[in-house]
Protein backbone atom coordinates (compact mmCIF):
# COMPACT_ATOMS: atom_id res chain seq x y z
CA UNK A 1 0.00 0.00 0.00
CA UNK A 2 1.08 3.57 -0.73
CA UNK A 3 -0.96 6.18 1.19
CA UNK A 4 -0.86 9.92 1.74
CA UNK A 5 -2.13 9.40 5.31
CA UNK A 6 -1.86 5.99 7.02
CA UNK A 7 -4.91 6.78 9.21
CA UNK A 8 -7.38 7.11 6.34
CA UNK A 9 -7.77 6.81 2.57
CA UNK A 10 -7.14 9.64 0.14
CA UNK A 11 -7.44 10.21 -3.60
CA UNK A 12 -4.21 8.95 -5.13
CA UNK A 13 -3.71 6.07 -2.67
CA UNK A 14 -2.67 2.85 -4.39
CA UNK A 15 -2.53 -0.87 -3.65
CA UNK A 16 -0.67 -3.73 -5.32
CA UNK A 17 -1.54 -7.37 -4.54
CA UNK A 18 -0.26 -10.75 -5.68
CA UNK A 19 -2.71 -13.58 -6.50
CA UNK A 20 -1.28 -17.08 -6.91
CA UNK A 21 -2.49 -19.85 -9.26
CA UNK A 22 -3.95 -22.14 -6.57
CA UNK A 23 -7.62 -21.22 -6.91
CA UNK A 24 -7.78 -21.67 -10.68
CA UNK A 25 -5.88 -24.96 -10.42
CA UNK A 26 -8.36 -26.23 -7.84
CA UNK A 27 -11.44 -25.14 -9.79
CA UNK A 28 -10.06 -26.82 -12.93
CA UNK A 29 -10.00 -30.26 -11.25
CA UNK A 30 -12.27 -32.97 -12.67
CA UNK A 31 -13.46 -36.25 -11.19
CA UNK A 32 -13.71 -39.30 -13.45
CA UNK A 33 -13.91 -37.20 -16.60
CA UNK A 34 -16.87 -35.18 -15.34
CA UNK A 35 -17.29 -31.41 -15.31
CA UNK A 36 -14.64 -29.21 -13.74
CA UNK A 37 -15.41 -28.03 -10.20
CA UNK A 38 -15.66 -24.48 -11.49
CA UNK A 39 -17.85 -25.12 -14.54
CA UNK A 40 -20.17 -22.19 -15.19
CA UNK A 41 -17.98 -19.60 -13.44
CA UNK A 42 -15.60 -18.65 -16.31
CA UNK A 43 -12.81 -18.39 -13.74
CA UNK A 44 -9.98 -18.08 -16.26
CA UNK A 45 -11.61 -14.73 -17.10
CA UNK A 46 -12.93 -13.59 -13.70
CA UNK A 47 -10.02 -14.47 -11.39
CA UNK A 48 -7.93 -11.52 -12.73
CA UNK A 49 -10.93 -9.28 -11.94
CA UNK A 50 -11.17 -10.82 -8.47
CA UNK A 51 -7.51 -10.02 -7.86
CA UNK A 52 -8.23 -6.41 -8.81
CA UNK A 53 -11.17 -6.43 -6.39
CA UNK A 54 -8.80 -7.32 -3.55
CA UNK A 55 -6.58 -4.38 -4.51
CA UNK A 56 -9.62 -2.08 -4.65
CA UNK A 57 -10.80 -3.09 -1.18
CA UNK A 58 -7.27 -2.62 0.16
CA UNK A 59 -7.29 0.99 -1.05
CA UNK A 60 -10.47 1.99 0.83
CA UNK A 61 -9.99 -0.12 3.96
CA UNK A 62 -6.81 0.98 5.77
CA UNK A 63 -5.79 -0.50 9.11
CA UNK A 64 -8.36 0.23 11.82
CA UNK A 65 -11.34 0.39 9.47
CA UNK A 66 -12.68 -3.10 10.19
CA UNK A 67 -16.40 -2.78 10.90
CA UNK A 68 -16.40 0.95 10.15
CA UNK A 69 -16.45 1.13 6.37
CA UNK A 70 -18.40 -1.56 4.56
CA UNK A 71 -17.69 -1.01 0.88
CA UNK A 72 -19.31 -2.80 -2.01
CA UNK A 73 -19.36 -2.44 -5.77
CA UNK A 74 -22.29 -0.90 -7.64
CA UNK A 75 -20.67 -1.12 -11.07
CA UNK A 76 -17.63 -2.53 -12.84
CA UNK A 77 -16.36 -2.03 -16.38
CA UNK A 78 -13.96 -4.72 -17.65
CA UNK A 79 -11.67 -4.87 -20.70
CA UNK A 80 -9.89 -8.18 -21.17
CA UNK A 81 -6.61 -8.73 -22.94
CA UNK A 82 -6.78 -12.51 -22.57
CA UNK A 83 -7.69 -15.31 -20.17
CA UNK A 84 -5.25 -16.26 -17.43
CA UNK A 85 -3.49 -19.63 -17.40
CA UNK A 86 -3.66 -22.19 -14.55
CA UNK A 87 0.03 -21.71 -13.70
CA UNK A 88 0.10 -17.89 -13.69
CA UNK A 89 0.71 -15.65 -10.72
CA UNK A 90 -1.17 -12.38 -11.15
CA UNK A 91 -0.28 -8.91 -9.89
CA UNK A 92 -3.15 -6.42 -9.57
CA UNK A 93 -2.83 -2.69 -8.98
CA UNK A 94 -5.60 -0.21 -8.13
CA UNK A 95 -5.67 3.55 -7.48
CA UNK A 96 -8.32 5.67 -5.74
CA UNK A 97 -9.09 8.15 -8.53
CA UNK A 98 -12.14 9.96 -7.13
CA UNK A 99 -13.92 10.09 -3.77
CA UNK A 100 -17.26 11.66 -3.04
CA UNK A 101 -20.56 9.89 -2.60
CA UNK A 102 -18.79 7.02 -4.31
CA UNK A 103 -15.22 5.82 -4.81
CA UNK A 104 -13.92 5.44 -8.38
CA UNK A 105 -11.24 2.75 -8.56
CA UNK A 106 -9.48 2.06 -11.89
CA UNK A 107 -7.38 -1.12 -11.94
CA UNK A 108 -5.05 -3.30 -14.01
CA UNK A 109 -4.03 -6.94 -13.54
CA UNK A 110 -0.70 -8.15 -14.95
CA UNK A 111 0.87 -11.55 -15.41
CA UNK A 112 4.02 -11.92 -13.33
CA UNK A 113 5.23 -14.55 -15.82
CA UNK A 114 4.60 -12.73 -19.10
CA UNK A 115 4.51 -9.13 -17.93
CA UNK A 116 1.45 -8.28 -20.05
CA UNK A 117 -1.88 -6.76 -18.95
CA UNK A 118 -4.48 -9.51 -18.56
CA UNK A 119 -7.41 -7.23 -17.71
CA UNK A 120 -8.09 -3.55 -17.02
CA UNK A 121 -11.21 -1.76 -15.82
CA UNK A 122 -12.83 0.41 -13.18
CA UNK A 123 -14.94 -0.29 -10.10
CA UNK A 124 -17.38 2.14 -8.54
CA UNK A 125 -17.78 1.43 -4.80
CA UNK A 126 -20.14 2.87 -2.21
CA UNK A 127 -20.08 2.44 1.55
CA UNK A 128 -23.38 0.81 2.27
CA UNK A 129 -25.88 -0.85 4.55
CA UNK A 130 -28.82 -2.91 3.35
CA UNK A 131 -32.29 -1.44 3.85
CA UNK A 132 -35.46 -3.42 4.50
CA UNK A 133 -35.83 -4.19 0.80
CA UNK A 134 -32.25 -5.39 0.44
CA UNK A 135 -31.28 -2.38 -1.70
CA UNK A 136 -28.07 -0.40 -1.41
CA UNK A 137 -27.97 2.78 0.64
CA UNK A 138 -24.94 5.05 0.64
CA UNK A 139 -23.29 5.64 4.01
CA UNK A 140 -19.98 7.50 3.46
CA UNK A 141 -17.43 7.74 6.31
CA UNK A 142 -13.87 8.97 6.15
CA UNK A 143 -12.04 8.00 9.37
CA UNK A 144 -12.46 5.21 11.95
CA UNK A 145 -13.62 7.65 14.66
CA UNK A 146 -16.04 9.62 12.44
CA UNK A 147 -19.72 9.55 13.47
CA UNK A 148 -22.09 7.54 11.32
CA UNK A 149 -23.70 9.79 8.75
CA UNK A 150 -27.42 9.82 8.02
CA UNK A 151 -28.38 7.23 5.48
CA UNK A 152 -29.09 8.67 2.05
CA UNK A 153 -31.02 7.31 -0.93
CA UNK A 154 -29.05 5.34 -3.50
CA UNK A 155 -27.83 7.39 -6.44
CA UNK A 156 -26.71 5.98 -9.76
CA UNK A 157 -23.00 5.70 -10.46
CA UNK A 158 -21.60 7.62 -13.46
CA UNK A 159 -22.87 6.09 -16.68
CA UNK A 160 -25.31 3.77 -14.91
CA UNK A 161 -28.69 3.10 -16.46
CA UNK A 162 -31.73 3.84 -14.28
CA UNK A 163 -33.27 0.49 -15.14
CA UNK A 164 -33.87 -2.37 -12.78
CA UNK A 165 -34.87 -5.68 -14.36
CA UNK A 166 -38.52 -6.61 -13.93
CA UNK A 167 -39.05 -9.45 -11.42
CA UNK A 168 -39.70 -12.93 -12.74
CA UNK A 169 -43.28 -13.85 -13.57
CA UNK A 170 -45.26 -16.72 -12.12
CA UNK A 171 -44.30 -18.94 -15.06
CA UNK A 172 -40.59 -18.39 -14.31
CA UNK A 173 -40.62 -19.57 -10.70
CA UNK A 174 -37.90 -22.06 -9.81
CA UNK A 175 -39.25 -25.32 -8.46
CA UNK A 176 -38.90 -26.05 -4.74
CA UNK A 177 -36.21 -28.54 -3.73
CA UNK A 178 -37.15 -32.20 -3.56
CA UNK A 179 -38.41 -33.52 -0.18
CA UNK A 180 -35.99 -35.53 1.97
CA UNK A 181 -35.48 -39.15 0.96
CA UNK A 182 -37.03 -40.51 4.17
CA UNK A 183 -40.33 -38.61 3.83
CA UNK A 184 -43.29 -40.96 3.65
CA UNK A 185 -41.41 -43.87 5.23
CA UNK A 186 -42.37 -45.42 8.56
CA UNK A 187 -39.41 -44.02 10.49
CA UNK A 188 -41.11 -43.22 13.83
CA UNK A 189 -41.74 -45.58 16.72
CA UNK A 190 -45.28 -46.36 17.86
CA UNK A 191 -44.78 -44.25 20.99
CA UNK A 192 -43.26 -41.17 19.33
CA UNK A 193 -44.69 -37.88 20.71
CA UNK A 194 -47.34 -36.18 18.60
CA UNK A 195 -45.71 -32.73 18.24
CA UNK A 196 -43.36 -32.31 15.28
CA UNK A 197 -40.36 -29.99 15.23
CA UNK A 198 -39.31 -28.68 11.81
CA UNK A 199 -36.16 -30.42 10.52
CA UNK A 200 -32.94 -28.73 9.48
CA UNK A 201 -32.86 -27.42 5.96
CA UNK A 202 -31.26 -29.91 3.53
CA UNK A 203 -27.52 -29.27 3.15
CA UNK A 204 -26.17 -30.73 -0.11
CA UNK A 205 -22.66 -32.12 -0.15
CA UNK A 206 -20.18 -29.28 -0.69
CA UNK A 207 -18.68 -30.98 -3.75
CA UNK A 208 -21.99 -32.07 -5.30
CA UNK A 209 -22.09 -29.40 -8.00
CA UNK A 210 -25.06 -29.17 -10.34
CA UNK A 211 -24.39 -27.84 -13.84
CA UNK A 212 -25.99 -24.68 -15.22
CA UNK A 213 -28.68 -25.43 -17.78
CA UNK A 214 -30.79 -23.63 -20.35
CA UNK A 215 -34.46 -23.51 -19.38
CA UNK A 216 -35.73 -22.19 -22.72
CA UNK A 217 -34.84 -20.15 -25.80
CA UNK A 218 -37.21 -17.98 -27.82
CA UNK A 219 -37.41 -14.96 -30.16
CA UNK A 220 -39.68 -11.92 -30.00
CA UNK A 221 -41.58 -10.35 -32.91
CA UNK A 222 -38.45 -8.47 -34.01
CA UNK A 223 -36.35 -11.65 -34.05
CA UNK A 224 -34.38 -10.76 -30.90
CA UNK A 225 -33.26 -13.98 -29.21
CA UNK A 226 -33.58 -14.57 -25.46
CA UNK A 227 -32.08 -17.42 -23.44
CA UNK A 228 -33.21 -18.27 -19.92
CA UNK A 229 -30.87 -20.17 -17.62
CA UNK A 230 -30.85 -21.83 -14.24
CA UNK A 231 -27.48 -21.50 -12.49
CA UNK A 232 -27.37 -23.51 -9.24
CA UNK A 233 -25.92 -21.72 -6.22
CA UNK A 234 -23.66 -24.74 -5.57
CA UNK A 235 -20.55 -23.07 -6.99
CA UNK A 236 -21.01 -19.95 -4.87
CA UNK A 237 -21.57 -22.14 -1.80
CA UNK A 238 -18.29 -23.95 -2.51
CA UNK A 239 -16.34 -20.69 -2.84
CA UNK A 240 -17.96 -19.22 0.27
CA UNK A 241 -16.97 -22.10 2.59
CA UNK A 242 -13.67 -23.00 4.26
CA UNK A 243 -12.17 -26.23 2.93
CA UNK A 244 -9.92 -28.74 4.68
CA UNK A 245 -10.02 -27.05 8.09
CA UNK A 246 -9.01 -23.64 6.77
CA UNK A 247 -10.18 -20.57 8.67
CA UNK A 248 -11.19 -18.53 5.62
CA UNK A 249 -13.55 -19.23 2.69
CA UNK A 250 -11.97 -20.85 -0.34
CA UNK A 251 -12.70 -17.86 -2.59
CA UNK A 252 -12.14 -15.03 -0.12
CA UNK A 253 -9.64 -13.07 -2.22
CA UNK A 254 -11.65 -13.75 -5.38
CA UNK A 255 -14.71 -11.96 -3.92
CA UNK A 256 -17.14 -14.63 -5.20
CA UNK A 257 -20.34 -12.79 -4.30
CA UNK A 258 -19.46 -10.21 -6.97
CA UNK A 259 -17.46 -12.35 -9.38
CA UNK A 260 -20.13 -15.07 -9.58
CA UNK A 261 -22.46 -12.71 -11.48
CA UNK A 262 -19.71 -11.76 -13.93
CA UNK A 263 -18.65 -15.38 -14.35
CA UNK A 264 -22.17 -16.65 -15.01
CA UNK A 265 -22.73 -13.91 -17.59
CA UNK A 266 -19.44 -14.70 -19.38
CA UNK A 267 -20.31 -18.42 -19.38
CA UNK A 268 -23.74 -17.70 -20.88
CA UNK A 269 -22.32 -15.23 -23.43
CA UNK A 270 -19.71 -17.74 -24.64
CA UNK A 271 -22.33 -20.47 -25.08
CA UNK A 272 -24.61 -18.10 -26.99
CA UNK A 273 -21.71 -16.96 -29.20
CA UNK A 274 -20.44 -20.53 -29.70
CA UNK A 275 -17.20 -20.07 -27.75
CA UNK A 276 -16.54 -16.39 -28.52
CA UNK A 277 -13.68 -14.70 -26.63
CA UNK A 278 -14.76 -12.15 -23.99
CA UNK A 279 -13.59 -8.63 -24.82
CA UNK A 280 -15.50 -6.25 -22.56
CA UNK A 281 -17.98 -6.42 -19.69
CA UNK A 282 -20.00 -3.87 -17.76
CA UNK A 283 -22.00 -4.77 -14.65
CA UNK A 284 -24.42 -2.95 -12.37
CA UNK A 285 -25.30 -4.58 -9.07
CA UNK A 286 -28.91 -3.96 -8.03
CA UNK A 287 -28.88 -5.60 -4.60
CA UNK A 288 -26.50 -7.76 -2.53
CA UNK A 289 -25.89 -11.37 -3.51
CA UNK A 290 -26.74 -13.65 -0.59
CA UNK A 291 -26.27 -17.18 -1.96
CA UNK A 292 -29.55 -18.36 -0.43
CA UNK A 293 -31.26 -19.45 -3.67
CA UNK A 294 -30.39 -20.67 -7.15
CA UNK A 295 -29.79 -18.02 -9.81
CA UNK A 296 -31.95 -17.42 -12.85
CA UNK A 297 -30.57 -15.48 -15.80
CA UNK A 298 -32.43 -13.89 -18.70
CA UNK A 299 -29.89 -13.38 -21.53
CA UNK A 300 -30.89 -11.11 -24.42
CA UNK A 301 -28.89 -11.05 -27.65
CA UNK A 302 -28.46 -7.37 -28.58
CA UNK A 303 -26.07 -7.91 -31.50
CA UNK A 304 -24.79 -11.06 -33.20
CA UNK A 305 -22.57 -10.44 -36.21
CA UNK A 306 -19.60 -11.95 -37.96
CA UNK A 307 -17.06 -10.10 -35.78
CA UNK A 308 -18.67 -9.73 -32.36
CA UNK A 309 -21.72 -10.47 -30.26
CA UNK A 310 -23.26 -8.34 -27.51
CA UNK A 311 -25.47 -9.94 -24.87
CA UNK A 312 -27.22 -8.46 -21.83
CA UNK A 313 -27.88 -10.69 -18.83
CA UNK A 314 -30.44 -9.83 -16.13
CA UNK A 315 -29.60 -11.95 -13.09
CA UNK A 316 -31.99 -12.93 -10.30
CA UNK A 317 -31.33 -14.76 -7.06
CA UNK A 318 -34.60 -16.61 -6.78
CA UNK A 319 -37.02 -13.81 -7.67
CA UNK A 320 -34.84 -10.90 -6.52
CA UNK A 321 -32.94 -8.90 -9.14
CA UNK A 322 -29.25 -8.75 -8.16
CA UNK A 323 -27.51 -7.41 -11.26
CA UNK A 324 -27.35 -6.70 -14.97
CA UNK A 325 -24.26 -7.61 -17.01
CA UNK A 326 -23.44 -6.58 -20.59
CA UNK A 327 -20.82 -8.77 -22.30
CA UNK A 328 -19.10 -8.25 -25.65
CA UNK A 329 -17.50 -11.34 -27.18
CA UNK A 330 -15.30 -11.59 -30.28
CA UNK A 331 -15.41 -14.37 -32.81
CA UNK A 332 -12.38 -16.66 -32.86
CA UNK A 333 -10.15 -16.29 -35.91
User: Domain ranges in the chain?
Assistant: 14-158+166-184+205-330
Q: What is the mean pLDDT of residues 173-200?
A: 56
Closest listed residue to residue 301, CA positions, set 218, 180, 230: 218
Report the SS3 class of residue 48: helix
Q: How far apart are CA 329 and CA 108, in angstroms?
A: 20
pLDDT at position 196 is: 58
Under the banding of pLDDT at 50, 70 and 90, the label for residue 314 is very high
Domain 14-158+166-184+205-330 part of CATH 3.10.129.10: yes
Beta partners for residue 107, in sequence order: 94, 121
- Over 90: is that where the pLDDT of 325 sits? yes
Task: Count other Cβ atoms within 10 Å, centred on residue 29.
Answer: 10
Q: What is the mean pLDDT of residues 40-54?
A: 94
What value does the mean pLDDT of the chain take? Answer: 79
Q: What is the dihedral of CA 310, 316, 317, 322, to 10 degrees?
A: 80
Backbone dihedral angles phi then psi of residue 2, each to the nearest 5 degrees: -125, 115
pLDDT at position 186 is: 61
Amino acid sequence: MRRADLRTFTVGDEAVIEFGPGLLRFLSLREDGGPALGEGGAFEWTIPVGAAGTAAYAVVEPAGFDGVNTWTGVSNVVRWGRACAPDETLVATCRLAELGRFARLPYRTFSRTRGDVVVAGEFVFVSVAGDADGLYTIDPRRTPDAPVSARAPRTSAPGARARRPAPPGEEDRIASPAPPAWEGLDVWSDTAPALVQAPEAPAPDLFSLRRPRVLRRYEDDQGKATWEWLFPRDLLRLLGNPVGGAAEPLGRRHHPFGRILEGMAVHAARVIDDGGVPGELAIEWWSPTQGAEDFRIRSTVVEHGDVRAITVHDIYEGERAVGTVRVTTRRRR
